Structure formats: structure tokens, C-alpha cells
Amino acid sequence: MIATPPTLVLVHGAWHGSWTWDRLVMQLDGIRVRRVDLPSVNADPALLGDMYDDAALIRETVSGIDGPAVICAHSYGGIPASEGAADLPNLTGLVYLCAFQLDAGESLASALNGPPPDWQDLHPDQGYSDALRPEQIFYADVDPDLATWAATRLAHQSLAALTQPQTRAAWRKVPSTYIVCEHDQAIPVAAQEAMSRRAAKTLRLPTSHSPFLADPSRLADLLRAELAALGSRP
């Protein structure tokens, strides 16, 4: 029986949306791709979901795929991916792209082990956070016009999602790969390297926090190789 190639499920990070992946997807011709728009990100604070809503959507998305699936999660997206994808029979691998690879009981807030960074603009009364200086923090090596465009697309991020702990960790039962972004201004490289010790394999990219905008071709090459390495099921 011919094995079915995995579908790649792309999970964006905080403040972002599925638009994040547009330029990467253009480099993934021939690969089946699914994207999600996480409920914890919205332009309307009244409509914000939380981390568990994000996890439920990821779980529904992967469960609905006919055949094997591999998740690539960026930044915060690693948390609901680890939560939502646990014990899914068709999940064959996880790729953490400068992402939070956390364990059960941990949250983004606990992983920071201190106050939020000064580039987060907190609105506790409204239950959301905004990102300040995104051109510097997220898009330092992105074409300036593209960085400005991306910054205008950012929305509010649920504060609850940043504090809620994982209850499960999919990477404990599924092979995982961590991609360290060596010039990241959002998640320090030392923190990425510490989390990457939980992965079966560590790769590196010479980019800042958004390689899907800075160097989508190189990221696509890595993901193609990982889809092959993480395997498929007949």
C-alpha cells in the first residue's frame, strides 16, 4: 500500500493570524497545507477566546484530516498545539518554530519566569495584550515594507491564553523537531535552546522571529525535509 504524505498544519503565534503563512505556503507547492485562525487573537476584544479554545480548534483541524498530519507551530502557537494535539492517532510529528515547547502544568507566563517583556502593552481590564515595536521585535530582518504591512495586520491577544497552563503535552508521545531562530528578538535564543532539549531534533535558522516572512524559501526547505523525516502512515 502506498503511504499517504502528511498534511502540514500551520499554527500561528500570538497577535498574528493565518495570513502569517501566505509567503511560506507559496513555497510549498505539492504539499497539502491546512491553516488555523486561533480564537485567542481578534480585533474585537469581546470576541477573544483563550488557549483552550485554540487547542480545541487545532484538535478539530487535525482530527478532520484524512491521513497523517504534522503540525508546525510558531511562538505562542506551540502551547495550544501541544495541548490540543495530544493523543491524536493521525499526528505523526510536531515542529516547534521558535515556539514554546512546554510541559503539562506550564504556561507562557510561567515559562517567562518574570514580568512580561516591555514590548507587551497590557490591558487587563479588557483582557488583552497588544504588541509594541513589532517591526523590531518580530520582523527585524524582514523587508521594511513587508514588516510595516505585517504590523498593520496584528490584532489583540487574549491575556487569559498567556497564563493558562497546559494539561497535556503532545510531544511526549510524538516525534518533535525544534527550529531555533538565531537572531530572535522576541524569544531569547538561550530560552529556545533550553526548550529544544525536549525535542528529538534541533535545527537552526539565521533569522529573527519571523522566518516565514524573512526567508520563506529556506523555511520551506526545512519543512519539506521534516515532513519526510517525520514520516507517514499507510
Can you give the residue range of the structural domain that contains 82?
Answer: 7-230
117 within domain boundaries? yes
Mean pLDDT within 97-113: 94
pLDDT value at position 173? 96
Q: What confidence tier does 1 reach under pLDDT thresholds 50, 70, 90?
A: very low
The sign one gets for the Cα dihedral 128, 147, 193, 114 is negative
1 within domain boundaries? no
pLDDT value at position 230? 81
68 within domain boundaries? yes
- pLDDT of 174 strictly over 50: yes
**Which grid coordinates are listed for 84?**
490540543
38 within domain boundaries? yes
- pLDDT tens for 203-231 read 999 999 999 999 999 999 999 999 998 86
2 within domain boundaries? no
Mean pLDDT within 174-197: 97
Task: Please tell me the total count of domains within the chain.
Answer: 1
How far from the centroid of its chain's Cα atoms is residue 117's Cα? 19
What's the CATH number where 47 sits?
3.40.50.1820
**Which grid coordinates are listed for 194?**
533550553
Mean pLDDT within 71-90: 97
Q: What confidence tier does 112 reach under pLDDT thresholds 50, 70, 90?
A: confident
pLDDT value at position 3? 67
Rounded to two decimals, the pTM is: 0.96
> In which residue are the cell numbers 529556506 written?
218
CA distance 84 to 22: 23
168 within domain boundaries? yes
